[in-house]
A and B are shown apart, each in its own frame.
Chain A
């Protein structure tokens, strides 16, 4: 659809994350660790009409491609999202997210007694369950509000 292509094409080099569930765009920024202080050019569309989702959010980040860890965690809050890699105004790659078996880093364990929240040189690791994630160290399960657990403890 031309309207969609237009939106996607607006950045020169970077990543467009499309088909994010309405209202989750700010959580996408949290996952990407973007708070404005890093100087990235970011534009956000919120509650844009969508055939597939009814209302969707779109996040466009100039000059940035996503790491696999970021993509993995993104899939937990935006399972239907598409990732568009843009170079010189062209979408050169477009793919759907896949739900991973594990996510590394990005999420932090809510269990205050978990070894990963101590001063140890390890990334958090979570096993992805059908309805949540489980810390691979202390086995605590998170089912609700996964974005609340993004970032360091």
Chain B
């Protein structure tokens, strides 16, 4: 039983917070269990070791076992990546792709979000447009790339357009379906408590949409990148996709892998920014794991 305000019986009860157990000892008891090989450092070390093993195998096998012209080797790849990151030509490619990706992704997220909220708020519009949106979404986005090149030329704009197109559908569907999962009883209770429509938005709709929104961000970022790189493959002056294509045409395996390494680094950076944002917002909403920890701290 928890603390009861109405019982007359005077039974001595231990404090709810568990005063008998000292705080640090308690934290150690309920904290994450750590086996010998599962601490955070051990896991990191094992990851690094795995990558090292692969790299060493790659270096040794390139030539004797695997054709060097196709797979190159880690040392040459590292050199190529370093070249890319230090030369001004390399930076201009990175910059082009980076701008296309960030602008396209941001616009795609914005358009998808606004569309979902509008169609969610105006049910008639939703019923009219939903089948149309589904039909357009059925087209593989890459198949539209030639069309966008025709519309926007072979510069940055066409790549942005492809990225916008790729990202916006995922955002739209995540939020549009997310809106249906908003708990109607919570909406009603807020209305009965005297909440106006903006209070419903602030206290029920937006917090309910946070998880599908961030899931959408994480799912659509790689698609925006795919769109940008594919657009650059098809026709472009510069960018990492352009570089990848040219290097492979010239049988420069080290250069191709070098560009891929830079792409991986870019996507890791984007992904960690999104994960950080996700955790931050969920924590502010008290929904994440850290919401628990924050609540415990403020006790």
Q: Check if A and B associate.
A: no
